[in-house]
Amino acid sequence: MSRSLTRLRRVTGDPLLVRAGRRLVPTPAAEALRGTAHDALAAAHAVLSTRVAPTDTELERSLDAVLTVRTGTDAVEEFGPDLLAAVSVRAPRARLRLVGEGDESVAALRDGTVDLDVGAPLADDDGLRRETLTHDEMVVVGRPDGALARRAGDGGPTADDVAAVGHVNASRRGVLRGPLDEALAALGLERTVVAAAPGFAAACALVRSADLVCLAPERLTRRVRGDELRTWPCPVPLPAVHLVQTWHRRTDADPVRRWLRDRVREVVR
Phi-psi region of 215 (alpha: psi -120 to 50; beta: other; left: phi over 0): beta
Give percent of the chain above pLDDT 70.
98
Q: Which residues pair with 118 in a beta bridge?
A: 71, 245
State yes or no: pLDDT of 216 exceeds 80. Answer: yes
| The pLDDT of residue 234 | 96
| pLDDT mean across residues, the chain | 91
Band (51; pLDDT cuts 50, 70, 90): low
Whether the predicted model's global pTM rises above the 0.95 cut: no
50-85 burial, b at 16+ Cβ within 10 Å, e below that, comes to eeeeeebeebbeebeeebbbbbbbbbbbbbbeebee
State yes or no: pLDDT of 49 exceeds 70. Answer: no
d(CA 87, CA 65): 11
Q: Tens of pLDDT along 75-86?
A: 999 999 999 999
Nearest residue to 109 via CA among 88, 89, 95, 123: 123
Question: Which of the two residues, 6 and 51, has the higher pLDDT score?
Answer: 6
Q: For residues 159 and 234, is the Cβ–Cβ distance under 8 A?
A: no
Q: Can you list the domains of the chain with their CATH numbers? A: 2-48 (no CATH), 56-135+242-268 (3.40.190.10), 138-239 (3.40.190.10)
d(CA 149, CA 226): 17
State yes or no: pLDDT of 212 exceeds 80. Answer: yes
Q: Tens of pLDDT along 2-48?
A: 899 999 999 999 999 998 888 888 898 888 888 888 778 877 776 77
Q: For residues 27 and 15, is the Cβ–Cβ distance under 8 A?
A: yes
Whole-angstrom CA distances from 118 to 72, 122, 168, 248 are 8, 10, 24, 13
Mean pLDDT of 214-219: 95
User: Cβ of 144: how many Cβ atoms within 10 Å?
Assistant: 10
Mean pLDDT of 133-151: 95
User: Cβ of 153: how many Cβ atoms within 10 Å?
Assistant: 9
| The pLDDT of residue 105 | 78
Nearest residue to 232 via CA among 135, 151, 120, 119: 151
Q: Tens of pLDDT along 64-78?
A: 999 999 999 999 999
φ, ψ of residue 146 in degrees (nearest 5) = -85, -175
What is the CB-side half-sphere exposure of residue 69 using CA atoms within 13 A?
25
Band (258; pLDDT cuts 50, 70, 90): very high
Q: Which run of H or of E encompasses 106?
A: helix 106-110
